[in-house]
């Protein structure tokens, strides 16, 4: 598939990790390319405000990485912040959150290289620095999630995320498309992970383009950023 030509009448939705910036050993270890936050701000202006970030990260992380205030869906869409900075929650913290945190922290203490990320609505067990434990950790994660009615397990790049059943990036994209800055535009979304597939499908369904970093950009975040420069 050839890439669409990016024009000012598009609405642009972007994942962060593995899309705008390269993945790193831990979520805190990523490097933001120089000028990226400023470039996103310029693009937001060129697009009449119709640019939003759809990320699995916490809201505070998104603001720390890209500068504060962009419209965004944080934590895979559990929390939405519109262009006027109004915040909507589309999910609640799973009832088992505290119990899971205790159990996961015991594994972290016993297995060097593991990391538990505490978000507002989700817990993430990262094992990028301990990939040899993947099978055991998958078994643990599936065991823990089996008893929960309001949470699901989201396997990601070297991580297992325990997230609320409600809220996904596809619903977030569809929500933004009903808000003033995005209305009647052609949506383009770029993502790299299984968690991005609902937004890829939503962009296609709404008459736009759901793009994938591996399938459409040769797996390169440089190629994504170069393409963004064509606006």
Single out the residue of 156, 148, 94, 95 nearest to residue 121, CA to CA: 94
**How would you classify the pairing of strands 79-81 and 87-89?**
antiparallel
Q: Which of 10, 11, 12, 15 binds Mg ion (CB under 5 A)?
A: 15
- Nearest Cα to Cα of residue 62 among 48, 81, 90, 43: 81
Active site residue 226: no
Least Å distance, CB 14 to Mg ion, is 10
Query: Applying CB under 5 A, does 192 fall inside the site for Mg ion?
Result: yes
Active-site residue (options: 15, 63, 171, 196): 15
Q: Determine the size of the site formed for Mg ion (CB under 5 A).
A: 5
**Residue 193 touching Mg ion (CB under 5 A):** yes
What is each CA distance from 36 to 40, 51, 133, 226, 228, in whole angstroms? 6, 14, 35, 11, 10
61 binds Mg ion (CB under 5 A): no
Minimum Å gap between C-beta 202 and Mg ion is: 16
Of 164, 175, 177, residue with least CA distance to 207: 177
Q: Which residue is nearest to Mg ion (CB)?
A: 18
Residue closer to Mg ion by CB (options 96, 192) is 192
Give the three-state DSSP class for 125: strand
* Least distance in angstroms from the C-beta of 143 to Mg ion: 26
Q: Which is nearer to Mg ion, 20 or 47 (CB)?
A: 20
Active site positions, annotated: 15
């Amino acid at each position: 598939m050839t890439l669409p030509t990016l024009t000012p009448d598009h609405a642009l939705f972007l994942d962060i990790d593995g899309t705008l910036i390269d993945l790193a050993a831990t979520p805190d270890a990523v490097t933001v390319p120089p000028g990226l936050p400023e470039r996103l701000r310029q693009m937001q202006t060129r697009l009449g405000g119709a640019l939003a970030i759809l990320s699995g990260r916490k809201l505070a992380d998104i603001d720390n990485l890209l500068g504060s205030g962009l419209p965004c869906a944080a934590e895979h869409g559990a929390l939405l912040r519109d262009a006027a900075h109004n915040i909507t929650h589309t999910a609640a913290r799973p009832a088992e959150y505290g119990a899971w945190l205790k159990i996961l922290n015991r594994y972290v203490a016993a297995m060097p290289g593991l990391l538990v990320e505490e978000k507002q609505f989700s817990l993430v067990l990262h094992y990028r620095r301990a990939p040899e434990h993947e099978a055991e950790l998958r078994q643990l994660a599936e065991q823990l999630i089996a008893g929960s009615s309001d949470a699901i397990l989201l396997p990601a790049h070297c991580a297992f995320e325990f997230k609320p059943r409600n809220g996904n990036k596809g619903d977030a994209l569809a929500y933004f498309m009903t808000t003033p800055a995005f209305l009647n535009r052609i949506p383009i979304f770029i993502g790299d992970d299984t968690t991005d597939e609902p937004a890829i499908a939503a962009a296609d369904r709404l008459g736009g383009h759901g793009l994938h970093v591996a399938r459409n950009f040769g797996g390169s975040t440089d190629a994504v950023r170069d393409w963004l420069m064509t606006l």
